[in-house]
Structure 1
């Protein structure tokens, strides 16, 4: 191609590259792949992928793998997949069992273990027969009776059958047998060629291209190929299959007049050209590939014995195997239609021949990034701009001709007179005739992004940081705008029709004619993103690299075609685009890859969605076209799917629920279910439609109908009954209300009467508490203090007496007082009584509990009468050592305070005797008033005041009395 000299400035070396590879998706355990060892693969009519693996039979719908097995199956492994005319999937195993899948279950058809004795066989499924091809015998098994109807034996091992038109061809070591559609042997002829005495190893393989038949045999450990001539009844040995001659061939695929051999060393592709095979390419080198198929979307599937499954979504997108050091490509140009010229981030420059797949690397003097590169074919020079300095490389001598002090060049333009226009990070230069001694400044201190020479009007367009500027041959400048706003360009090109195209970093693409915007493309009219990395014209087509995909725009029809990473694009970080003869090459941070212009864009086909599951109230339900549901069966989840890897990687769904809403809603990619909660009663139709954004094809809509019944309380009979019930209830309610109001009135009348009685009892209680004897004794004490001239004591006693009378009067007007107030009142009363008893009375008042006496309320005038009784009837008759204890136990859990009054008086029996002597037969006034008041206080109450009087004895002798009063309280 070119001769390069090694100089002190440039180090050049060649790197041989074996081949370019299509971009493959490797399915493994992280993708849910259930195994890594696979033996067979097919795609059925519905688009499901079926896999025979070491661990069993699996079905793949593009998302998940489903295992099929049954109790009769011996071992896990299955082999030899096929689909019959009824859509059932068949397979067999090494134990001689044959299976088929029907209605989601694996069924055992027949067990021929006694006949086959551990031999793994091929088979065919016809309308009435299962035909089994063992090593040397064909068995015809009736599908109804499951009996072997007939056999056909051979002297040597036979091949897997192949059908051409209505005939079946079977090859043995030395002959070919032809059977008609009734399984009768039509003819047989020898294929043993001259000097082919070497022993044939294994079974013969048969394959075809159109109506041409070929066989493959292993002779002397070498794969030998023959073409069958039916007219002359002979086999012609073929050459030119060196790539696979020593590899084990597992399977042969005929695809578009090409033969794909799945081998122990990857997949080899051969073209049948001029009556011979020509090696085209090799995929998955070093991988043990057992079979290759293509699916309905054009994806290639490769299964392996130890590396899982590989899927190539687009065989026409290829990644070039450049060296690891050259992968970070920063700029791209081309020398001719088969040689690419690129600069990298590591500072070196390289050439890549896409025909020979060889790379040449030129190591540059400094390691700064290559920022721009341009080849001038008229002078066979190239201009190399780096972050530090620029260089001119003479391709005839391989020498760096010039070094110039211009750094971070953005672009070189080769003008028609061999002048070179240069823009760097802030300046614009003109290099007259490419001579750096004639370097001339044009503009300074204005940062550009790129530049473009428009040959039609001999103008230079420069995309600056603040907008797009046109410089014509008269050195005049013109700023180009759109709607009075700047155009911020990043990449510029022109199509054959003279339209200038400017890509922007956020506003899509502008098309300019006569400096006026005539086209504007954004995401609203076809672009997958408004952020454009690079554009390149190819006649009147425009190749567009965005941050979301690569697109091809036909500028005449305005139709876009799109490729994404799911189609095999290795990177969106595109640094350059070059148009080759039949390919477009893209450079990126991941290296170089190409797109076949004619074949890379697959024909879009309609896809079919189906329902996979319906859940009602979170329970899986059998699939049906229509559902009738109860009112409480109103939480419904629909799951759906489109078979195939492509759609599940890039497709979306539109859905709506007629009867609930009419607007379509679009799911996210990969979302395959919709759930509705608490739907009201009514009739509904759920519709779902698959959508691929880059195609205009309208896919069929799948639909399910269901209805939710009204709850019983919304039925006419229930509503009528409810109206009658409500009417009757209203009548009964008001009757009851009137009766209740009458009862309430009677209660209020009675309550008024009770309140009057309670007031009277309070007055009686007050009178009882203000005992005349106590008052006379108190006054006598005061008189005695005065006579004895003890004025201070008389005054103090009179004050305490007055306080006690005042307290009683205050309490008499209250319904409740605090316990502390009751205790204080008792203290005052007992202090005066102690004086009356001439200090021969000892008393204590103590309270216990978590609540303080000041925090609780009790009824007024309740305790003092019992204390007075203890003094009057018990302690009064005792002459010495009089003791009175008053204890309060506060229970904050039951809200009850117990008042325990204990005296060591003579006891109730003796007190009664003393009372009899005084001829007082009537019941004491204070006691009766207290009992009547208790009865009133307890009236209608759940918690009542209780009084228990207990006589205390010691050795059967009375030693006092205990009164226990249980008083419900309320807290403040």
Structure 2
């Protein structure tokens, strides 16, 4: 079942807008101040903050807002850095407007350093990096020093002076680990021991042959004994296992190695078993233990064209999606689901391709996925990633050659198919399609005419609708055809929709839908039991059951065309949930429904794939009922 569910999603992606929906962008066209995004921040309330070289922005999931700051001082200024501490303060460092904090809870700003007026002010008040020491103090990476500021007063209470060329160096990254503060600058990297107040330069390369090798800007703790250092030119691994002894003995013999010699590393984000690097060459998946590296293709294969491949920063959200800051193209969002989807199409499979790009139904048989398309069957081998076409153009005509297959049923290792040319039984071993036959010529004529609303039951019966002759039940074993009368006589077969698979509570009772009402049919007593009737539905109303399923909470969900999603108690048939598609701005039909292991309901539509989080939906409804 897991395999068929996965492949259903694969095939649906071929003909839906989800092909590009996994990558989205925020740019000046969406309201961003500028395309150069140097810092991304997801605050405690879920808002995305973006600092650019022409102002500060905040994205709420719907629109990009310009953050003007106190008295508009942040409008169109160059932002150096933004940072959120554990007290939910957002720190904002600018190049020319000063240094501020913003309290998310009170929606208030506090100015710490004013706008520089002289060159001395610029040196003293410019901040390039921010790191929280504790709830009362923050480290500020400046030009040739790292200062410790008391949050309440704004007073600088300590300062780490760096042995660098004054006016030509500035701090680019800070990382605190236990008793040590690691500092990356444009003139190499350093480590400061808090307890001894000692500072030591870190050696990470034998000989500096290019100035960019000294321009370090990313610090990442791979494990308790290993530090990764990213530079404008290179990625380096440093052994920090004996730092306490090194400082105690003043003997520093550094162990290091070069992981990448010529790559510009902006950021490092951990993945399950490897690292994701933000570089000048785009996103790179890197396995440090083996040295393997693979370039991430998601942006390259998206609908967007990048002017510059540089990725400045990576931020992961609560859904495991990735926000990327770029140098020239704004910010991009990569949905975490991208890696879970594999697009199966004629473009990336071996074999004969797909008989048609429109796929109506699928079943699994003999280790293969059989897809009913708008012209024949396509058999997909997931092990070999290979396809083969069957029945394409079968019984075709000059004007209308397609052999369209609308439904697939699996019974006795054969495919029972409802098509535009009648109902057929396809034997995949013999590659042969045959039609049903009755006990006499009249029955055979009905069976080989155009049938619709077909359901093939597990106990060997075929239920179907004939537009002119009515409703029928066919016994596969003895070939007897029985016309369903009694209560069925009140319905016009031409206006009726379909027989459907039974509910688990009544496995031999197929469902039947017509005129806005869903019934359960008892074939023994020839009795119809009403499950749900659409309110005020006219018998001729064009409402049909697209799909149904029972979730883990034992709720029967119905997808009704032109009406929405209905959640019923399957025992009492009482309606407990209603989701109006138009009201929720979906405005589309939901076809197949499938519940995943986490209780999410996935639904296919003409506008791609949708997911319903039942926990959030039910909780939201509860709050509405309670008056919140």
TM-score normalised by structure 2 residue count: 0.62
Q: 1:211 offset after TM fit, Å?
A: 6.1
Does 2:37 align with 1:38?
yes
Deviations 1:140-181 (A, max 9, x none): 23446645433213457766223457865446788763655x
Alignment partner, residue 475 of structure 1: 479
Counterparts of 1:200-349 in structure 2 under 5 Å?
200-208=213-221, 214-218=227-231, 221-224=233-236, 229=241, 248-254=264-270, 259-264=275-280, 267-268=283-284, 282-285=297-300, 287=306, 288=309, 289-295=311-317, 300-311=322-333, 315=337, 318=341, 320=343, 322=345, 328-333=357-362, 342=371
Does structure 1 residue 177 correspond to structure 2 residue 194?
Answer: no
Q: How many angstroms does 1:110 deviate by? A: 0.8
Q: Conserved in 2, the CA contact under 8 Å of 1:268 and 1:283?
A: no
- C-alpha change, 1:414 and 1:154, in structure 2 (3 Å) is same
1:449 counterpart = 2:448: no
Which of 152, 164, 171 lines up with 2:160 in the alignment?
Answer: 152
Structure 1 residues 818-874: Cα deviation after superposition (integer angstroms, max 9, x where no partner):
xxxxxxxxxxxxxxxxxxxxxxxxxxxxxxxxxxxxxxxxxxxxxxxxxxxxxxxxx
- Residue 538 of structure 2 is matched in structure 1 by none
- Written as runs of structure 1 = structure 2, the 5 A alignment for 1:664-703 is 692=617, 698=623
2:477 matched to 1:462?
A: no
Q: Which residue of 2 aligns with 1:93?
A: 94
Counterparts of 1:162 and 1:519, CA distance in 2: 66
| CA distance 1:291–1:506, shift in 2 (3 Å) | farther
How far apart are 1:203 and its partner, in Å? 1.4
Deviation at 1:479, TM superposition (A): 6.3
Aligned mate of 2:391, from 370, 374, 384:
384
The structural deviation recorded for 1:414 is 5.5
- The 1-side partners of 2:596 and 2:383 are apart by 15
| Residue pair 2:191, 2:200 contacting (<8 A) in 1 also | yes
CA contact (8 A) 2:425 2:436 kept: yes
Q: 1:42: Cα distance to partner? A: 1.9
Alignment check: 8 A CA contact 2:77 2:96 kept = no
The residue aligned with 1:124 is 131
Give 1:76 deviation, angstroms: 1.5
- Secondary structure at the aligned position of 1:114 is classed as helix
Look up the match of 2:174: 161
Q: How far apart in 2 are the matches of 1:140 and 1:590?
A: 53
Q: Deviations over 1:777-811 (max 9, x none)?
A: xxxxxxxxxxxxxxxxxxxxxxxxxxxxxxxxxxx
* 1:23–1:315 CA contact under 8 A, matched in 2: yes
Alpha-carbon separation, structure 2, partners of 1:211 and 1:186: 20
C-alpha spacing 1:471/1:587, structure 2 compared with 1 (3 Å)? farther
How much has 1:56 moved relative to structure 2? Answer: 0.9
Query: For residue 54 of structure 1, what is the aligned residue in structure 2?
Result: 53
Counterpart selection for 2:141 from 129, 133, 141: 133
Structure 1 pair 575–251 and aligned structure 2 pair: CA distance change class (3 A): same
Aligned-CA RMSD value: 6.2
Q: 1 or 2, which has the higher helix percentage?
A: 1
Distance 1:60 1:336 in 2: 47
1:464 Cα offset (Å): 5.0
Q: Displacement, 1:300?
A: 4.7
CA deviation map 1:616-675 (0-9, x unaligned) = xxxxxxxxxxxxxxxxxxxxxxxxxxxxxxxxxxxxxxxxxxxxxxxxxxxxxxxxxxxx
Judging changes above 3 Å, is the alpha-carbon distance between structure 1 residues 566 and 277 closer, same or farther for their aligned structure 2 residues? farther
Against the structure 1 CA distance between its residues 477 and 191, is the aligned structure 2 distance closer, same or farther, given a 3 Å change threshold?
farther
Tell me by how many angstroms 1:66 deviates.
3.9
| Within-5 A mapping of 1:889-904 | none
Q: Distance in 2 between matches of 1:278 and 1:556?
A: 55
**In structure 2, C-alpha distance between the alignment counterparts of 1:223 and 1:104, rounded to whole Å:** 40
- Structure having greater relative contact order (Cα 8 Å, sep ≥ 6): 2
Find the aligned partners of 1:499 and 1:66 in 2 and give their Cα distance: 58
SS at match of 2:173: coil
Distance 1:88 1:254, change over 3 A: same
Cα shift readout 1:562-601 (whole Å, capped 9, x = no counterpart) = 9999999998575898999x9999887678x7x9xxxx77
CA contact (8 A) 2:230 2:265 kept: no
Secondary structure of the corresponding residue to residue 139 of structure 2:
strand
Question: Cα offset for 1:333?
Answer: 3.4
SS in structure 2 of the partner of residue 284 of structure 1: coil
Query: 1:122 Cα shift?
Result: 0.6
Distance 1:153 1:513, change over 3 A: farther
Assess, with a 3 A threshold, how the Cα gap between structure 1 residues 422 and 89 changes in structure 2: closer, same or farther: closer
CA distance in 1, matches of 2:147, 2:531: 69
Asked whether the equivalents of residues 128 and 172 of structure 2 are also in contact (C-alpha less than 8 Å), the reply is no
Q: Please, which runs of 5 or more residues in structure 1 have no aligned partner? A: 1-14, 363-381, 391-404, 606-691, 704-972
Match of residue 67 from structure 1: 67
CA contact (8 A) 2:376 2:402 kept: no
Counterpart CA distance in 2 for 1:505 and 1:319 is: 37
The alpha-carbon distance between structure 1 residues 127 and 423, as it changes in their structure 2 partners (threshold 3 A), is closer
How far has the Cα of 1:40 moved from its partner?
2.0
Q: Distance in 1 between matches of 2:225 and 2:406?
A: 57
Instruction: Give the TM-score taking structure 1 as reference length.
Output: 0.43
> What are structure 2's unaligned runs of at least 5 residues?
1-13, 165-169, 247-253, 348-352, 439-443, 536-541
Q: Please state how far the C-alpha of 1:302 moved relative to its aligned partner.
A: 3.7
Q: Write out aligned runs for 1:753-768 (5 A).
A: none
- 1:80 maps to 81
Number of corresponding residues: 543
Shift of 1:88: 3.1
* Mapped partners of 1:105, 1:201: distance in 2: 40
| Distance apart, 1:32 and its partner CA | 4.4
Q: Any idea what SS the aligned residue of 1:161 has?
A: strand
